[in-house]
């Protein structure tokens, strides 16, 4: 199991799982297999995905601390 404790706080995990409407265990599983990505800031997200009006099948959630979580629909 991958250790996400240095990158993701439990509160962030709970908040994002509510937005994506999945339980926290499922979210951890998706993080482990790379289906959910975590970006430390918007610049890192934009570097990978660009600045678009819509991101197609990509769901994303920006937290108030600047981290962005992404998941394919």
pLDDT for 3: 79
What is the DSSP annotation of 38-69? EESSHHHHHHHH-S-S--TTEEEEE-TTS-EE
Confidence of residue 61 (pLDDT cuts 50, 70, 90): very high
What is the per-residue pLDDT across 25-58, written as a single tens digit (0 to 9) for each?
A: 999 999 999 999 999 999 999 999 998 888 889 9
Task: Report yes or no: 28 and 4 within 8 Å, Cβ to Cβ.
Answer: yes
pLDDT for 31: 92
Three-state DSSP at 72 gives strand
What is the per-residue pLDDT across 1-31, written as a single tens digit (0 to 9) for each?
A: 677 778 899 999 999 999 999 999 999 999 9
């Amino acid at each position: 199991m991958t250790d996400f404790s240095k990158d993701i706080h439990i509160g962030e995990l709970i908040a994002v799982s509510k937005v994506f409407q999945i339980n926290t265990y499922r979210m951890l599983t998706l993080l482990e297999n790379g289906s959910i990505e975590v970006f430390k800031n918007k610049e890192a997200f934009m570097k990978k995905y660009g600045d678009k009006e819509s991101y197609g099948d990509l769901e994303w959630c920006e937290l108030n601390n600047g981290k962005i979580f992404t998941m394919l629909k």
